Structure 1
Amino acid sequence: MNQFTPHSASLGEAWGSDVVAQTIRALGYRYISLVPGASFRGLHDSLVNHLGNSDPKMIICLHEEHAVSIADGFSRVADEPMAVALHSNVGLMHATMTIFNAWCDRRPMLIIGATGPLDAHKRRPWIDWIHTSQDQASIIRPYIKWDNLPISAEAAVEAVLRGDQIARTAPYGPVYICLDAEMQESALDREVKVPAVDRFRPGAAPEASQADVRTTCDALRAARLPVLMFGRGARGQAEWDARVRLAEATGAVVLTTTHNASVFPTEHEAHILPPVGEKPNEEESRLIAEADLIVSFDWHDLAGFLSARLGSSQTQTPTAAKVVHCSLDRYVSNGWSMDHQSLPAVDLPVLSQPDRFVSLLLAEFADQEPLPKRYPANTPHWTLAPVSAPPTSFNAQVMAYTIAEFAKHNPITFARLSFGWPQRACRFRSPLDFLGKDGGGAVGTGPGHTIGAALALRDSGRITVGVIGDGDYLMGVNALWTAANMRIPMLMVVANNRSYYNDEVHQERMARQRGRPVENKWIGQRLSDPAVDLVAMAKAQGFTGEGPVESAEALREAFERGLSIVRAGGCHVIDAWIEPGY
């Protein structure tokens, strides 16, 4: 380990970047992930020599994308933002994809950027000029909540306070504060205060009116078949328990989705179907067709889900069921990003934080007898039963069911699940069992998300497991070094079909549509000549690893060994060679 030399007890001269660092600490940030760069060398020094590399502690990354995705993964568990530092315009350009992903995930994040001296007279030849941009935040403004370019230490304090406030205000999202290099590196000739931050905290999230609460409760009492659709929700156990109590009080059916983190016990009798995927299957379509009341708690694509059954948009052929939709998402919709999804037809729009709405509804049912269960007739509760497969078969489903068996007996948090993970392998018993997909549909985020989640769960007694595809792994593999460097225990299983197989499916569709050879779908997709040595890449980052494993039995044995390594504080990768196909 490298030796850290603390600064002297005497504070001595103060610098612009010192008060920025002090403000970040005062706001309670535990970590700041970064790839170092000269544009924020002043802040870097302040974090190390003024704050002692503690609160926040630096998390060194090998790529700016990973710095952001680790912060994203951390907030998925902690429900609080992490800080990120990005070097100038070039570091920001590297990070744009994962910033967009965090935006789509609605994850809070304080991103500190930097630029060369705004005063052109102060710029070093060449390098400061190419690392200085006019309106640097314009690169990402369509998918952040707010940005600022403070040019004094006092303004920087205010910017960090305001940015934190906005990031933590629902609906959550990343903010970007770009620091002038000269401001950071200027000695202060005056006192610059960091005020008591409690007076700059975000306010309580908006909540539903009593009229909306009563209208929804009346509808739940009167409905023949009410369905509660739980989408985005907090990680807290109290919020989890409240959702369960609401389902039990109302006798309603519950749906959840694999798009978002686990928000309801999938084995509960009200959760009659497994978590839904990207679009309704036949069972889910029948349920929605029969329902006469749908109450959505920030379902991420309500109109898309309902319209998939109808084969038309909600504006043209809306569902006949009465719909209550609780969400604050419209507050961050803009004209650039279409992540707001299609427009749902809603009878009662409720502008409230969804878990707060659950609490208000629950209060209306307090001290009352639970309503009768109104589940569809002849609908047995789903069970986690492995698909039948030949003994020699080892595909995505067999892999999933093999891993899911371990989750029955171990406190596992699935930071991510790979393409092809079957809905019936989703047994979630706590709010930390599964943390959701990558909201932006990106590739390369899985390693970072898993590391960030594992960081937040360190010393919790839970085992963080990321199950990701080989393409996701290969684009993000050097994020693993950060986990090894920080001694963050985690297990990663790579569902390795040696292909960008999702795109093989698309090419097959194109070939069939155009009457062309389906046999050519693999060209430009396969990663098998030569096969990439995924375990060697993990070992190069400081992990241990095993593979390829090519059967369910071999995976069971490898997974057990991997769990032992992680329980002992290690970082481990398993390369699972599955057959192509979902």
Structure 2
Amino acid sequence: MAPKSTTAKDPDIHKVERLQVPYSTNAPAFGSDVVAETLSALDIPYIALNPGASYRGLHDSIVNFLGNEQPQMILCLHEEAAVAIAHGYAKVTGKAMGAAVHSNVGLFHATMAIFNAWCDRMPILILGATGPVDAMKRRPWIDWIHTAADQGAIIRNFSKWDDQPASPGAARESVLRAYWLANTAPCGPTYINLDAEVQEAKLPAPLPPIDAKRYMPPVVQGPSADLVKKAADLLFNAKKPLILAGRLSRSEANWKKRIELAEAIDAKVATNLKIGAAFPTDHPLHLGQPATFATDDLINAVKDADVILSLDWVDLGGTFKAAGFTPSATVIQVTLDQNLHNGWSMDYEGLPPVDLFIPAETDATVEALVAAIGSRAKPKKPHAARPHPLKEKPAADSQMAAADMANVLRHAIGDRTVCLTHVSLSWHGEFWPFRHPLDYVGSDGGGGVGGGPGISVGAALALKGTGRMAVAVCGDGDFMMGNTAVWTAVHYRIPILFVVANNRSFYNDEVHQERVAVARNRPVDNKWIGQRISDPDIDIATVSRGQGAKGFGPCWNAGELEKALDEAIKVVEAGGVAVVDARILGGYSPATAAAMARGKADRGS
């Protein structure tokens, strides 16, 4: 496996950190060279990292053996940002990029971002390191506190696989296995812990060459023909079929197959904001608007359906529970998610009633169902069009609720092609139509506040050069927890627009405190204590300018926001990073508030 001679995917990013001295292209000489060579052979374009001495050998190999070309380092100011960036990249591409974290302390920092990717079923190849396993070779103090007997145990309950190889040959095999497993459905993060001694020791002899692609057999777990026939017959004969479109790919071809299936059986289709766009929201068959929690439209459709097809729907059991009864409909569940369930994390959600279970990948199953229905497809019925027109802009001097902020943003975007890389908890599907699988790439996965900025920068990295503008709508709490990702975006010339829905509060927790106060007959007026992010208000524009971005705001009304967005979009179209501080009122749309009350939402801004 010779190092790749090609440069990173984006030449502008590659120019940011050029080598001052030409690098070596000789055969691997150290254990870490073998690891770096393997990463290169896997065509991994980037490795997001926060540096640390535990993997200084690998760091040197990526720079002075590979030339910082493939993979190219993406420097981050926090390990959580490094993993979140890799997460966001996977949300767009469906493929793992690399992330590196320093020893046990770096892995501790990264845990929330790893959990987000785990819950989101997104692939990441994470490389870590430890002080020398051989105690006689540890430096006093620092190598001891940065060495653990079983470092992978820190994240083993929310990662697909981990390993601590004891030789360069074993490290090569571990990297190959970790990348293959991460990218095989159901996807998830994998972790390789590299012993510092293994990295830095000279190779006693060259390793025999191998073809990395032979160790990456493509795996598509399709459905059995018998199960497909049973499902196709049930769906075709249903009078009121309902499709719950859950975890599905960003592939445009697969997107079209979903539409074809829905039209072939005249099924209503529901989507939600927990995962990326799965079906056009203004299609006549789309049900209501996507939301994070079960809406009345969804609950009524579940009650009314006679056959329900769940395409890896997130929390199918919880959706039925929200409906208030076990559905009488025949339930078809398509998922591989059970392969990841364990006894530590309850991200498997409630156990749903299922009449026909298809253990297979969703997109492969949709394609098989379309083929099985074939010429039996029902003629298209006339359905009322579901246009999603622009609403009239709010008055320039008016204060803004979340809906007003979204309205002004949509007017400012106009007919540009964009990707919503993240939305705040106050967002509702009625604000924005999704007409392409990359119009929206989903939430943070694990409900971890602070993931939005890093995930968005990673998505923007993957989108760079595609002509699709990355737009992130983050709550103020979310943005402040993860805002160092802004520096990384600026440094590597990754264009992105951040709009901060700034209600100066962890507002969802105010809602929770209000519920508790009402239930206990205590003063509701005190709900803001320990929740408000004010006195002083954080100057988000200044925080952003301090990292090299163009900061705008605070924008207290619709007119100020419109002006700021017009300027911010110009910055992004010129290749820059812009952050707009939109001061909005606390509160949610009526539909969101009702759904959250029913779902007892987690914390967030």
- For 1:295, the aligned partner's letter is L
1:404 CA drift (Å): 3.0
Question: Map of 1:24-103 to 2, 5 A cutoff?
Answer: 24-103=39-118
Q: Which residue of 1 aligns with 2:544?
A: 538
- Find the aligned partners of 1:372 and 1:50 in 2 and give their Cα distance: 59
The answer to whether the 8 A contact 1:496-1:577 is kept is: yes
- Find the aligned partners of 1:202 and 1:335 in 2 and give their Cα distance: 30
Q: Which residue of 2 aligns with 1:191?
A: 206
Q: Which of 436, 439, 443 matches 2:445?
A: 439
Q: Deviations over 1:305-351 (max 9, x none)?
A: 121011xxxxxx52111110100000000000000110110000110
Q: Which of 138, 149, 159 matches 1:144?
A: 159
Q: Which residue of 1 aligns with 2:600?
A: none
1:426 CA drift (Å): 3.0
Q: Decide whether aligned partners of structure 1 residues 302 and 387 sit closer, same or farther in structure 2, where only a CA change above 3 A counts.
A: farther
- Find the aligned partners of 2:393 and 2:138 in 1 and give their Cα distance: 67
1:554 CA drift (Å): 2.2
1:423 CA drift (Å): 2.3
Q: Which residue of 2 aligns with 1:296?
A: 310
- Find the aligned partners of 1:291 and 1:386 in 2 and give their Cα distance: 32
Q: Which residue of 1 aligns with 2:345?
A: 337
Q: Which of 107, 128, 131 matches 1:116?
A: 131
Q: Which of 364, 385, 390 matches 2:372?
A: 364
Which segment is superposed worse, 421-430 or 116-125? 421-430
Secondary structure class of the residue paired with 1:464: strand
1:194 CA drift (Å): 4.7
Residue 558 (structure 2) pairs with residue 552 (structure 1): yes
Q: Which of 565, 573, 576 matches 1:570?
A: 576
Q: Which residue of 1 aligns with 2:592?
A: none
Q: Which of 33, 37, 46 matches 1:22?
A: 37
Q: Decide whether aligned partners of structure 1 residues 122 and 171 sit closer, same or farther in structure 2, where only a CA change above 3 A counts.
A: same
Residue 322 (structure 2) pairs with residue 305 (structure 1): no
- Find the aligned partners of 2:49 and 2:516 in 1 and give their Cα distance: 41
Q: Which residue of 2 aligns with 1:516?
A: 522
Question: Map of 1:223-302 to 2, 5 A cutoff?
Answer: 223-279=238-294, 281-302=295-316
Secondary structure class of the residue paired with 1:409: coil
- Find the aligned partners of 1:364 and 1:408 in 2 and give their Cα distance: 41
1:198 CA drift (Å): 1.5
Q: Which residue of 1 aligns with 2:3?
A: none
Which segment is superposed worse, 201-210 or 109-118? 201-210
Q: Which residue of 1 aligns with 2:233?
A: 218
- Find the aligned partners of 1:530 and 1:132 in 2 and give their Cα distance: 41
Q: Which residue of 1 aligns with 2:598?
A: none
Residue 471 (structure 2) pairs with residue 465 (structure 1): yes
Secondary structure class of the residue paired with 1:366: helix
Q: Which of 152, 175, 178 matches 1:163?
A: 178
The answer to whether the 8 A contact 2:453-2:485 is kept is: yes
- For 1:180, the aligned partner's letter is D
Residue 404 (structure 2) pairs with residue 398 (structure 1): yes
Question: Map of 1:419-434 to 2, 5 A cutoff?
Answer: 419-434=425-440
Which segment is superposed worse, 194-203 or 461-470? 194-203
Secondary structure class of the residue paired with 1:546: strand
Q: Which of 352, 355, 372 matches 1:347?
A: 355
- For 1:417, the aligned partner's letter is V
- Find the aligned partners of 2:211 and 2:408 in 1 and give their Cα distance: 52
Q: Which of 489, 492, 496 matches 1:486?
A: 492
1:248 CA drift (Å): 1.6
- For 1:459, the aligned partner's letter is G
Give unpaired runs (5+ residues) of structure 1.
311-316
Secondary structure class of the residue paired with 1:576: strand
- Find the aligned partners of 1:568 and 1:276 in 2 and give their Cα distance: 33
1:422 CA drift (Å): 2.2
- Find the aligned partners of 2:203 and 2:567 in 1 and give their Cα distance: 56
- Find the aligned partners of 2:247 and 2:280 in 1 and give their Cα distance: 14
The answer to whether the 8 A contact 2:34-2:168 is kept is: yes
Q: Which residue of 2 aligns with 1:314?
A: none
The answer to whether the 8 A contact 1:413-1:465 is kept is: yes
- Find the aligned partners of 2:183 and 2:138 in 1 and give their Cα distance: 35
Q: Which residue of 2 aligns with 1:325?
A: 333
Q: Deviations over 1:412-463 (max 9, x none)?
A: 1000011211221130011110011111101111110110011000011110
Q: Deviations over 1:37-84 (max 9, x none)?
A: 000000000000000001100000000000000000010001100101
Q: Deviations over 1:278-322 (max 9, x none)?
A: 12x222222221111110111011111121011xxxxxx521111
- Find the aligned partners of 1:443 and 1:519 in 2 and give their Cα distance: 25
The answer to whether the 8 A contact 2:265-2:377 is kept is: no
- Find the aligned partners of 2:24 and 2:535 in 1 and give their Cα distance: 59
- Find the aligned partners of 1:284 and 1:206 in 2 and give their Cα distance: 29
What is the aligned-residue identity percentage? 46
Secondary structure class of the residue paired with 2:484: helix
1:405 CA drift (Å): 3.5
Secondary structure class of the residue paired with 1:296: strand
Secondary structure class of the residue paired with 2:186: coil
| RMSD of Structure 2 on Structure 1 (CA) | 1.8
The answer to whether the 8 A contact 1:221-1:371 is kept is: no
- Find the aligned partners of 2:342 and 2:392 in 1 and give their Cα distance: 43
- Find the aligned partners of 1:210 and 1:4 in 2 and give their Cα distance: 55
1:406 CA drift (Å): 4.3
Which segment is superposed worse, 41-50 or 379-388? 379-388
Q: Decide whether aligned partners of structure 1 residues 215 and 13 sit closer, same or farther in structure 2, where only a CA change above 3 A counts.
A: closer
- Find the aligned partners of 1:234 and 1:23 in 2 and give their Cα distance: 27
Secondary structure class of the residue paired with 2:210: coil
1:13 CA drift (Å): 6.9
Secondary structure class of the residue paired with 1:254: strand
The answer to whether the 8 A contact 1:273-1:382 is kept is: no
Secondary structure class of the residue paired with 2:514: helix
Q: Deviations over 1:141-183 (max 9, x none)?
A: 0000001000100100110111111111100000010000001
Q: Which of 165, 168, 182 matches 2:197?
A: 182
- Find the aligned partners of 1:294 and 1:388 in 2 and give their Cα distance: 39
The answer to whether the 8 A contact 2:24-2:66 is kept is: no
Give unpaired runs (5+ residues) of structure 2.
1-15, 589-605
1:372 CA drift (Å): 5.3
Q: Decide whether aligned partners of structure 1 residues 370 and 458 sit closer, same or farther in structure 2, where only a CA change above 3 A counts.
A: same
TM-score normalized by the length of structure 1: 0.95
- Find the aligned partners of 2:403 and 2:280 in 1 and give their Cα distance: 21
TM-score normalized by the length of structure 2: 0.92
